[in-house]
Amino acid sequence: MTSGQMRFGLFSVNAGPCVDPPTAARIARVAEDAGFDSLWAGEHVVLPDPRVPPSPMDPLDDILDPVVALTYLAGHTRRVRLGTGIIILPQRNPLVLAKELASLDVLSGGRLIFGVGVGYLEPEFRALGIPFADRGRRTLEYLAAMRAIWSEDHPAYQGRHVSFADVQARPRPPQQPHPPIVRGGHTPAAYRRAVEHGDGWYGFGLTLDATREALAGLRDAAARYTRPAELGPLEVSVTPRASLDEATVAEFAALGVHRLILQPRPPLDAASLEAFVTTVGQRFIDRA
């Protein structure tokens, strides 16, 4: 047993074997019982066909909508947190998404973690009719608009891409002023956005060396940009690329990683995924 204060999440609960509803529900319960602190669902609305770099998935791979999938799993769990890892925010209508996520937070009893990114597949943006070039600016505006509709007494926002006033959207998320917002991305701009606007940062598919470089980037951003005091310390989550052993978990912890969000290696069927989750719980997670 190891891990100290390290927490563990399970990635891809809306893909692979978990596209099957009974399997997803069982895996979610097994993960919760094994001591996982969170379940994470990724997003691609469409995938380029034929597959082109840097697309992470084959165009015929199944992937459920993350908000729908996590809402389903909320009804089959009691304590485990439910994370979007990540939602591609510039592809969404911010007020519609705010309503969906507030509903998930209500139905789960305040267990949502809102992981958000700017996206990186230009063909996906093109198919949805969303400009690829301005996705960073659009993301910042959408986040500000969502915060407003979630928490202000008289919600209003005026921006280039979204504007509204004289409206309300209830119920609000139980987690006020908003659910934890986790920023993705491995660029200086992404690190700045995490420092200035994020409760946490999520690095996907990283080795120890890549994690070390990312954390150095986050430290540099923290030295150059002001972090609002109300955000508190930045929580760092990583999906590791390599297989884990006790020493590797300890190295991630020593670097300053707070949560490892594990992605089982494909191909997996339901039985092998359940065995993976159970083994991780027995080997790494301290439930004392």
> pLDDT (tens digit, 9 = 90+) per residue, 134-152?
999 999 999 999 999 999 9
How far apart are alpha carbons 241 and 146 in whole angstroms? 32
Q: Does some domain include residue 166?
A: yes
Q: Which residues, including other chains, have CB under 8 Å from residue 73's CB and lie 6 or more apart? A: 13, 24, 25, 28, 39, 82
| 3-state SS assignment for residue 81 | strand
pLDDT tens-digit readout, 142-190: 999 999 999 999 999 999 999 999 999 999 999 999 999 999 999 999 9
Kindly tell me if the per-residue pLDDT of 2 is higher than 50: no
3 state DSSP class of 77: coil
Q: Does position 288 have pLDDT exceeding 90, yes or no? A: no
Helix (H, G, I), strand (E, B) or coil at 263: coil
Closest CA to 55 of 120, 129, 127: 120
Task: Look at residue 146 and tell me if it is in a domain.
Answer: yes
Mean per-residue pLDDT for 224-237? 96
- pLDDT at position 190: 92
> d(Cα 160, Cα 149) in Å, to the nearest integer?
17
Note the pLDDT tens digit of each residue in 197-224: 999 999 999 999 999 999 999 999 999 9
**In this structure, is residue 33 part of a structural domain?**
yes
CATH code: domain of residue 118: 3.20.20.30
Q: H helices within the chain, ranges in order?
A: 21-34, 66-74, 94-107, 122-128, 135-151, 188-197, 208-224, 246-255, 270-284
Residue 98: the pLDDT is 98
Residue 61 one-letter amino acid: D
pLDDT tens-digit series, residues 253-276 = 999 999 999 999 887 899 999 999
The conformation of residue 237, written as its DSSP 8-state character, comes to E
Measured between alpha carbons, how far is residue 19 from residues 12, 50, 61, 162 in Å?
Answer: 10, 22, 10, 33
Give the mean pLDDT of 40-52.
96
Domain presence at residue 2: no
pTM of the predicted model as reported, rounded to 2 decimal places: 0.96
- Whether residue 174 contacts residue 156, with contact meaning beta carbons closer than 8 Å, is answered with no
CA neighbours within 13 Å on the CB side: how many for 146? Answer: 26
Q: What is the pLDDT of residues 96-135, one digit of tens each?
A: 999 999 999 999 999 999 999 999 999 999 999 999 999 9
Domain contains 268: yes
Q: For the chain, what is the domain count?
A: 1
Sign of CA dihedral 42, 44, 49, 50: negative
Residue 1, domain member (yes or no): no
Which pLDDT belongs to residue 265?
Answer: 85
Residue 1 has pLDDT above 70, yes or no: no
Report the pLDDT value the prediction gives residue 19, as an integer from 0 to 100.
98
Contacts of 211-218 with CB under 8 Å at 24 or more apart are: 211/238, 211/240, 211/252, 211/255, 211/257, 212/255, 214/186, 215/255, 215/256, 215/257, 217/186, 217/188, 217/191, 218/191, 218/194
Pairing of strands 81-84, 112-117: parallel
Residue 2 is encoded by which pair of tokens? 């190891």
Give tens-digit pLDDT for 61-100.
Answer: 999 999 999 999 999 999 999 999 999 999 999 999 999 9
Range of the domain at 111: 7-284
For residue 3, name the pLDDT band (cuts at 50, 70, 90): very low
pLDDT recorded at residue 287: 52
CA distances from 65 to 44, 187, 191, 245 (A): 8, 26, 26, 32
